[in-house]
Amino acid sequence: MKNFVLISPNFPETYYQFAVSLRNVGFRVLGVGDAPYVELKPELKDALTEYYRVNNMDNFDEEKEAVSFFERKYGHIDFLESNNEYWLRKDAQLRDIFHIDTGLHFNELDRYQRKSLMKECFIKAGVKVAPYTLVTDLSPLKKFAKENGYPLFVKPDIGVGAEESFKIKDEKELEAFFNKKQENVQYICETFVSGDIVTFDGIADKDSNAVFVASLECPPSISDILQSGSEMFYYSNPFIDPDFERIGRNTVKAFELKNRCFHIEFFRVNKKMPGFAEVGDIVGLEINIRTPGGYTPDMHNFANSVNMYQLYADTMADFNPRPECYPKFYCATASRRDGVNYFYSSEDINRTFEKELCGQGRYPKVLSGVMGDTFFMAKFTNTKDVELFREYVNRKNMPESKSHNSSTMFKESDSSQNICDNHIDGA
């Protein structure tokens, strides 16, 4: 029996399904985490052969001792994975120490974490990338700005999300950034690309073939959300354009992804950039060699009528999974932030979207800055109802001087049934 060590198998909450699925295909599943055993979900406890609790997951020596204990007790470790960006480098170090050859090693990580090196792989795949330069001195930075024009976008060369990211509109802001930037951080500066985020997500097998693919449409970017404090909204689109799917599969091959989930972000350009990109062009942004964040794997499951966790386990077991053709839906998530006065209550949302809702809850605190505090997940057969759902969940109360008029809330939907017709008393 092969041994699969899962790092932090209880986070996010739905990731217990990785353990269940791996056990289903015959792995001995071993868990390492800092949560007390009694707090693990019953399904996770049942799937784990053994759980090793450490006091502090940031203490690498504790993690190393946990894996060493499993190796002494159960033999060679065949797989080790967290599917979590935060533990990516430690996962690789542990594979090096325990000679686990089924995943990435530490000396391979730079091209998956340095945005400047990612661009080389995108180019290898035939994907356009924004012109860029690494931030060193102010003089070459000004020269880059003069050659490429404003606005620019600056962010850490290694970083997750949109922390320490800046949209720079002119030379004054460029100088202000340079004078206040962190000295121990390597930044990358690139031409600002106007467009929506579209992703290519999935699972790669040992030969860098994408055995399952999915896609997200993300109208507000993470940087916009962080800067404005707005709500997160995005949806899983199961109807992937064939040209975009070809680009995505070529990118998986160019990055030589093996035995892992992936989440690759692209821009779909919505404003012509002379000499660089036309409206509708796909531009490579960055790659994350993990599942998409939060509860997004569950969105892909609802959208594609599949079990992504089981497909992952099948791939690791070399079962050559082939997802069958099931009904497809647009699965959307709209979040809310605590302390905001929303027009509709949670009860209203549950009543109006009773047939469409497929998940709701609170995001863990570590994710709430980007994702929001609470979320509602629902699936639909068309994008008009997706937008209606977004407007409904995120609508705020009007000033007291204005009255509520539900008859003018939304544009009429072209779908066969206006889902707001179900709402009878929320206003």
Count the alpha carbons within 13 Å of 383 in the hemisphere toward its beta carbon. Answer: 9
Tokens encoding 144? 């880059």
- Assess whether 293 and 381 both reside in one domain: yes
Average pLDDT score over residue span 221-241:
78
Structural domain includes residue 228: yes
Arithmetic mean of pLDDT over the chain: 90
Q: Give yes or no for residue 123 having a pLDDT over 90.
A: yes
- Final residue belonging to a domain, choices 176, 191, 206: 191
Domain count of the fold of the chain? 3
List the one residue out of 93, 82, 61, 97 whose CA is nearest residue 4.
82
**Antiparallel, parallel or unpaired: β 187-191 and 152-156:** antiparallel
What confidence tier does 275 reach under pLDDT thresholds 50, 70, 90?
Answer: confident
Regarding whether 387 and 300 lie in a shared domain, the answer is yes
Q: Flag whether 116 is in a domain.
A: no
10-63 confidence digits (pLDDT tens): 998 999 999 999 999 999 999 999 999 999 999 999 999 999 999 999 999 999
Of all helices (H) and strands (E), which one includes residue 187?
Answer: strand 187-191
* pLDDT value of position 191: 96
Do 96 and 161 belong together in one domain? no
Residue 124 inside a domain? The answer is no
pLDDT at 425 over 90: no
Would you say residue 326 lies in a domain?
A: yes
The pLDDT of residue 326 is: 84
Q: Tell me how crowded residue 373 is: count the other CB atoms within 10 A of its CB.
A: 17
What is the average per-residue pLDDT within 403-424?
Answer: 36
Residue 413 domain-assigned (yes or no): yes
The answer on 395 and 265 residing in a single domain is yes
User: Looking at residue 320, what is its pLDDT?
Assistant: 76
Residues 213 and 356 in one domain: yes
Higher pLDDT, 409 or 111: 111
What residues have CB less than 8 Å from 59, skipping those under 6 apart? none
Name the domain boundary from 173, 191, 209: 191
What's the CA gap between 266 and 279, in Å, rounded? 14
Element (H, E) at 321: none
Backbone phi and psi for residue 136, each to the nearest 5 degrees, phi listed first? -120, -80
- Between CA 392 and CA 30 the distance in angstroms is 43
- Does residue 228 sit in the same domain as residue 368? yes
User: Residue 74 is part of a domain; what is its CATH number?
Assistant: 3.40.50.20
Do 310 and 245 belong together in one domain? Answer: yes
Q: What is the C-alpha to C-alpha distance for residues 141 and 330, in angstroms, rounded to an integer?
A: 42
Same domain, 179 and 245: no
Domain of 178, CATH number, reads 3.30.1490.20
Task: Note whether 411 and 296 are same-domain residues.
Answer: yes
**Cβ–Cβ contacts within 10 Å for residue 146, how many?**
10
Q: What is the pLDDT of residue 225?
A: 58
Of 411, 415, 389, the closest CA to residue 332 belongs to: 389
**How many percent of the chain have pLDDT more than 70?**
90
Query: What is the residue range of 394's domain?
Result: 195-422
Token digits for 215?
């896609």
Looking at the fold, whether 172 and 39 belong to one and the same domain comes out as no
Enclosing H/E stretch for 194: none
Compute the average pLDDT of residues 304-313. 95
- Where helices occur in 98-170 by DSSP H, the ranges are 110-113, 115-124, 138-148
Predicted model pTM: 0.88
403 pLDDT higher than 90:
no
Q: Which of 57, 74, 108 is the last residue of a domain?
A: 108
DSSP 8-state assignment for residue 103: S
Buried b (16+ CB within 10 A) or exposed e, 276-295: bbeeebbbbbbbbbbbbbbb
* Look-up of token digits 């997951």: 57
Same domain, 277 and 407: yes
Residue-wise pLDDT for 171-207, tens only, equals 999 999 999 999 999 999 999 999 999 999 999 999 9
Kindly state the average pLDDT of the residues 273-280. Answer: 91
Domain CATH for 330: 3.30.470.20
In a domain, 115, yes or no: no
For residue 368, is it within any domain? yes
- Domain-located, residue 126: no
- In this prediction, residue 378 carries a pLDDT of 98
pLDDT of res. 398 = 73
Of 78-92, 100-114, 393-407, which range is least confident?
393-407
| Residue 64 shares a structural domain with residue 22 | yes
